[in-house]
Amino acid sequence: SADPGRDTRVPAVLDVAHRGASAYAPENTLAAIDTARDLRATTVEIDVQRTRDGELVVIHDTTLTRTTDAEEVFPGRGSYAVADFTLAELRRLDAGSWFGAEFAGERVPTFEEALARLARHRLNLLLEVKSPDLYPGIEADIADTLAEHSSWLKPRPAWKWPRLTIQSFDWESVARSHELLPDVPHGLLGLVPAEDVDDYAWADQINPSHTVIDADYVELVHEAGLEVHTYTVNEPDDMRAAIDAGVDGIISDRPDVARRVIAEE
């Protein structure tokens, strides 16, 4: 913030629309990305998993039942694991109606569709590799897809928020992804114990729940040279507390509220 070259149009604390603007549109759909753009978010978080036939798709749960009509369309398919369905099958599912009738017909997006929509809106991406233990090699699949859309891999000036960041709760997966994409910032989701933070100095971010951090922890992480982006902060008072604790980013289902509170501070 002391950098005189800093672009003041770029918020001092990053606002991230969690699963898209998921308070207002069905999470992890193109509608949620469009809504994030409408609300002037700068960055969108999405969750990436893999189908039975190896396609990368955008969905949070490792099963389809909460956010799609899979049980109606494909009765008797066991646990409805994302990994048990082909992309062609996923394309038949409605991923919007559960949230509201006006979103009927929203589909589970492919990762490439989400990238294209984000690029069209000039939105940055916080990509979560969801449950990579279920998808061996998914880090390489993601790296290969990004190489085909290489504008996502271009570096940005240090004072701007990154175009792309990759994060996961699985820190070994984050390490594998970092090996493949050393120039892309990487974040460790969850709380890295204070005594272990120095072991993760190769990473760029530690991203815990806002309920488990305080100013001392944020300072310790900053001293190790990493940023702190915290999830999922939906209430203005919790946003203010996180900003007061010194976080670098607020991941919220309500990116409009986050932007307003960040601008106040």
Query: Annotated catalytic sites, by residue?
Result: 18, 60
Kindly state the smallest distance separating residue 264's Cβ from Ca ion, in Å: 26
Half-sphere exposure of 53 (CA within 13 A, CB side): 8
How far is 47 from 19, CA to CA, in rounded Å? Answer: 7
Task: Please state the length of the chain.
Answer: 265
Paired strand residues for 166: 127, 186
Out of Ca ion, ligand G3P, none, which partner does residue 253 contact, by CB within 5 to 8 A per kind? Answer: none
Kindly state the smallest distance separating residue 4's Cβ from ligand G3P, in Å: 31
CB nearer to Ca ion: give 47 or 253: 47
Q: Which of 128, 139, 141, 248 binds Ca ion (CB under 5 A)?
A: 128
Kindly state the smallest distance separating residue 207's Cβ from ligand G3P, in Å: 6
Tokens of 193: 């114990």
27 binds ligand G3P (CB under 6 A): no
How far is 234 from 11, CA to CA, in rounded Å? Answer: 18
The DSSP element (H or E) to which 206 belongs, if any, is strand 205-207
CB atoms within 10 A of CB 38: 14
Tokens of 162: 């990154």
Residue in the shown chain whose Cβ atom is closest to ligand G3P:
231
CB nearer to ligand G3P: give 89 or 142: 142
Site for Ca ion, rule CB under 5 A: 47, 128
Interacting residue ranges for ligand G3P, rule: CB under 6 A: 18, 45, 47, 60, 128, 189, 231-232, 251
